[in-house]
């Protein structure tokens, strides 16, 4: 199937799924992505400036632009936005333009049903474009479950935030646990002057030093993290480096992260973990189990879905469900998605607007379909 045919087929699927076709500008304000998208995406954005000095970028994904559009136009909710267009990200292999298609579901209060529908639609779109669902598998995680367990274990708030930022990033999570256990010393900074300023508590001098260092290195204050954000992270690292987690809590956290079971068994596995760890996250486990049933009722084969307690996506705005759909024997996912209930509030909404969505990578599906 040629790319043009795939685009037409994707648009037809989105319409059948009740998604309103949506066109987003290629040029987007950069600040929301720099502030909320996460380190991985931040490094890969194509940045530029307007004539007035406003930081702009080529559209690197759909979720933030859809949310901005929603807040500007304020249509009735719930609403499903259908997207089918290019995104632009820097990659080491040289490719920088990718075709994606997906749905962003905003304002659906029944989040359990919306999560199941997002997963089902993502799998359905990939199967439609490939001409078959043979060999499709999914991995599912839940950041809300992870957050509930961190709180139940009594971790300091700063460590909860750090571990949540590391969720879905195995190396970052392993490094954080090594520091918490005392097996490794936290690497706050390699800059002796920064270390001195952190110890002195002189925030103004620290900020001036960071700004001067960035300027001397030719780094724009709008490229990646801003100086104030860097200072905040440095101070946070310094404060957290002295914290140690009790052995029983650390063992429980490591046992949770190691959970990887078929989705049909996930509810029982989480309940067994809860009992073994001696914590109370029953309400969150019951909600997770209700979503498993909703996924089953949506027509998905639970035997093809794996629950991985440590699985996440490298985007900071996710709050609950995260998933990817792939093909057995292939490393790269064909579709990814998740829930982002706090994103619209961060972007300026005066109330919580629930959101969940997914995208399929058409460029990855095309050669697989052609080789069937």
Spans of the chain below 70 pLDDT: 1, 92-94, 184-199, 210, 217-225, 234-244, 366-372
Q: Are 147 and 329 in contact (CB under 8 A)?
A: no
Q: Which residues are annotated as a binding site for L-histidine?
A: 61-63, 89, 100, 104, 313, 317-318
Which domains can be identified in the chain, with CATH numbers? 3-148+256-370 (3.30.930.10), 192-240 (no CATH)
Question: Could you tell me which residues come within 8 angstroms of residue 54 by beta carbon, excluding any fewer than 6 positions away?
Answer: 29
The whole-angstrom separation of Cα 39 and Cα 162 is: 13
The pTM of this model reads 0.84
How many other β-carbons are positioned within 10 Å of the β-carbon of residue 285? 21
pLDDT, residue 170, reads 86
Q: What pLDDT is attached to residue 370?
A: 45
Q: Which residues are annotated as a binding site?
A: 61-63, 89, 100, 104, 313, 317-318
Query: Can you tell me the distance from the alpha carbon of 16 to that of 20, in angstroms, rounded to the nearest whole number?
Result: 10
The predicted structure's pLDDT at residue 43? 84
pLDDT of residue 261: 98
Q: What is the pLDDT of residue 371?
A: 45
* pLDDT at residue 278, rounded to an integer: 95
pLDDT of residue 3: 82
- Measured over the CA atoms of residue 334, residue 358, residue 161 and residue 261, the dihedral's sign is negative
């Amino acid at each position: 199937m040629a790319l043009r045919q795939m685009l037409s087929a994707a648009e037809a699927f989105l319409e059948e799924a009740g998604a309103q076709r949506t066109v987003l500008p290629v040029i987007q304000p950069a600040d929301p992505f720099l502030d909320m998208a996460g380190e991985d995406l931040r490094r890969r954005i194509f940045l530029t400036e307007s004539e007035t000095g406003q930081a702009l970028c080529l559209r690197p994904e759909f979720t933030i632009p859809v949310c901005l559009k929603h807040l500007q136009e304020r249509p009735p909710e719930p609403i499903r936005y259908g997207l089918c267009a290019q995104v632009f990200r820097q990659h080491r292999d040289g490719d920088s333009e990718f075709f994606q298609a997906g749905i962003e579901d905003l304002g659906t209060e029944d989040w359990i049903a919306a999560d199941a529908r997002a997963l089902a639609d993502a799998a359905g779109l990939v199967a439609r474009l490939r001409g078959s669902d043979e060999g499709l598998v999914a991995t599912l995680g839940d950041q809300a479950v992870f957050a509930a367990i961190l709180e139940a274990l009594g971790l300091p708030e700063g460590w909860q935030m750090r571990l949540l930022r590391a969720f879905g990033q195995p190396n970052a999570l392993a490094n954080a646990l090594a520091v918490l256990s005392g097996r490794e010393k936290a690497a706050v900074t390699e800059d002796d002057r920064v270390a001195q300023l952190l110890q002195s508590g002189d925030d103004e001098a620290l900020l001036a030093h960071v700004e001067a260092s960035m300027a001397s290195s030719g780094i724009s204050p709008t490229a990646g993290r801003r100086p104030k954000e860097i200072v905040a992270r440095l101070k946070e690292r310094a404060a957290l480096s002295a914290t140690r987690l009790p052995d029983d809590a650390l063992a429980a956290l490591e046992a949770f992260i190691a959970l990887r079971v078929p989705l049909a068994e996930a509810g029982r596995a989480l309940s067994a973990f809860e009992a073994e760890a001696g914590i109370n996250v029953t309400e969150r486990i019951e909600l997770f189990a209700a979503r498993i049933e909703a996924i089953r009722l949506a027509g998905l084969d639970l035997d093809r879905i794996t629950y991985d307690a440590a699985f996440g996506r490298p985007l900071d705005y996710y709050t609950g469900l995260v998933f990817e759909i792939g093909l057995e024997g292939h490393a790269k996912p064909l579709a990814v998605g998740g829930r982002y209930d706090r994103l619209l509030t961060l972007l300026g909404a005066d109330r919580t607007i629930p959101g969940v969505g997914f995208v399929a990578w058409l460029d990855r599906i095309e050669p697989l379909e052609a080789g069937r």
